[in-house]
Amino acid sequence: MSAVPPVLKIVERCQKLFEDLDFNAVKQWKAAVPGRKAIGFMPVYVPCELIHAAGMLPVGILGGGDQLEVIQGDAYYQSYICRIPRSTIELGLTGRLDCLDGMLFPSICDVIRNLSGMWQMLFKDKYVKYLDVPQNYVDSIGGSFYISELENLREDLGKLRGKPVTAAEINASIAVYNENRRAIRDLYAYRAAKPWQAPTSEVYLLLRAGMVLPPEEHTPLVREYIAAADAMPRPKRDNARVVINGSFCEQPPLALIKSIEMAGCYVVDDDFILATRWLLDDVPSDANPLEELSKAFLHRSASTAAKYDTTREEKGVYLLKQVKTRGAEGVIFAAPSFCDPALLERPMLQDILAKQKIPYTAFKYAENTGQMAPIREQAGTFADSIKLWSAA
């Protein structure tokens, strides 16, 4: 009997974590040292360093996926609203998030803002914070506002654990997250260089594992995956290299990511689970930590529809850079149904791509989309058209 290759063992472990809607990994982490706390956070980005510095586990909550039946959650939102708030409510009401001692709702859209209010009413014994982010990128204006938000969070977390969170603790956590971001940057660079060796369905599961594992455990797992993936040759296909845009909040079902790949696309960049890659480079870990986190947010962070662009000229710059630096041949706009930020931005991005003669296609999904055939046909036709007509 042949042994399971190491790369597949890692993927299998990540898949189990991904499928576990009871968050047993979080429960185990808490049980290992009684008294430890876990804080959930919604997409897109929160400064996990502060949670980590308080000795707590940051837990990414990305909805219920396609395995959760939403029964009670539907009563809280109009039927046309995207699915992630409803499935998150369902997770909460069914007790699956009881292992969390608090929840952070970063400013992303009105739906998430409303969800933070509902959470306060529904779970009165839990810490809940709506984390506002700046829409002005001048250090003395947006920066000082953001630092005060970070200061409030730091104080709250200090109260929750019964001891203030020190600058030295935050700096130590910044160093830990720098390592994690470096590993993920390497993973993304590796996938762009050899997408046949690191399928996006696997890369995605690795990122999801980082939503429930502590960074000290996740970083070596990412490094092990890169080494193990490289050690197992896989067939190289003549696929079209694409960037996926629009999936920064409610996540597509895993089957959808697989369908895009099976249709003949190599995903060479994407905006899945941006929390892991929001800050684009290392944050200095030997200075004033809140100031450095603020500067990184203001001047060196990823772009997405949920983040304010101060000028029209900035729109699309990040996407074009992804296309050019990753050697992509086209863009797939894949956004959740009724996702205002993504769908409002999409025409602007499409205009920019059209001017640059970069092919694109677009569709919508829900986290529980089940019918993959139309998406596979659309992505397959897109990949074929790139291969047939875009070649120089």
User: Which string of b and e fits 368-392 if b means at least 16 CB within 10 Å?
Assistant: bbeebeebbebbbebbeebeeeeee
CB-nearer residue toward ligand SF4: 25 or 366: 366
Question: Least distance from C-beta 276 to ligand SF4, angstroms?
Answer: 17
Distance between CA atoms of residues 258 and 248, nearest Å: 17
How is residue 327 written in tokens? Answer: 């050697």
CB-nearer residue toward ligand SF4: 64 or 264: 64
* Distances in whole angstroms, Cα of residue 304 to Cα of each of 59, 108, 345, 388: 21, 10, 9, 31
CB-nearer residue toward ligand SF4: 114 or 288: 114
289: helix, coil or strand? Answer: helix
Question: Least distance from C-beta 249 to ligand SF4, angstroms?
Answer: 3
Sheet holding 57-60, edge to edge: 57-60, 38-41, 102-106, 127-131
CB-nearer residue toward ligand SF4: 22 or 340: 340
Question: Least distance from C-beta 306 to ligand SF4, angstroms?
Answer: 6
Question: Least distance from C-beta 247 to ligand SF4, angstroms?
Answer: 9
Question: Least distance from C-beta 32 to ligand SF4, angstroms?
Answer: 33
CB-nearer residue toward ligand SF4: 61 or 153: 61
CB-nearer residue toward ligand SF4: 117 or 327: 117
Q: Which residues make up the interface to ligand SF4 (CB under 6 A)?
A: 82, 84-85, 108-109, 111-112, 249-250, 306, 336, 339-342
Question: Least distance from C-beta 305 to ligand SF4, angstroms?
Answer: 8
- Tell me, letter by letter, the H, E, C secondary structure of 349-375: HHHHHHHCCCCEEEEEECCCCCCCHHH
